Amino acid sequence: MSISRNFFLGRELTKKIGPLNFLRKREMDAKAAKSLANVGLGNIREMEESVNFLSGGERQAISIGRATFFGAKLLILDEPTAALSVKETEWVLRLVSEAKNNGLAVIFISHNAYEVFEVADRFVVLQHGRNYADLTREETNPEELIEVIAGRIKK
């Protein structure tokens, strides 16, 4: 699937001609390119490029750009930095922080306490599907959060 089609998936821009709907491809490409440039993907030359050829960080950036473009109020990211390089992880964490600072609510699911601590204001730790701990940034630190996640201390 192309970058542009992925970006507009389920919300494609169409033009009705008689009984048929046609994609407004040029408009979709231009809007996707502009939005993706805002999240640091201005280097994409061709919106027809397959998302299969993008890195994991670039794919996450598309998801964040899409959420921002369509005015989402909540962004749920499940292990968004898994299998990313250090550089891509830093980029994705920066994008998440920017989204949060722009008023987007973010649920960031991760086992990496250090990454979570970079972007979160509140930490909810689940154990066996139940709320095990609910902490604010001011109440804890990354090392203690690791102990809570591991179940060695309860807060």
How does pLDDT run across 35-53, given as a tens digit for each residue? Answer: 999 998 888 878 999 999 9
Question: What pLDDT is attached to residue 21?
Answer: 94
Tell me the C-alpha distance between 1 and 48, whole Å.
8
Quickly tell me which residue has 């950036």 as its tokens. Answer: 61
Domain spans of the chain? 3-120
Residue 76, pLDDT > 90, answer: yes
The pTM of this model reads 0.82
Q: How many residues does the chain have?
A: 155
Residues 47, 33 contacting (CB under 8 angstroms) = yes
Tell me the C-alpha distance between 119 and 124, whole Å.
13
* The CATH homologous superfamily of the domain defined by 3-120: P-loop containing nucleotide triphosphate hydrolases (3.40.50.300)
Interval 77-114: pLDDT, tens:
999 999 899 999 999 999 999 999 999 999 999 999 99
Closest CA to 50 of 5, 95, 90: 5
Tell me the C-alpha distance between 112 and 58, whole Å.
20
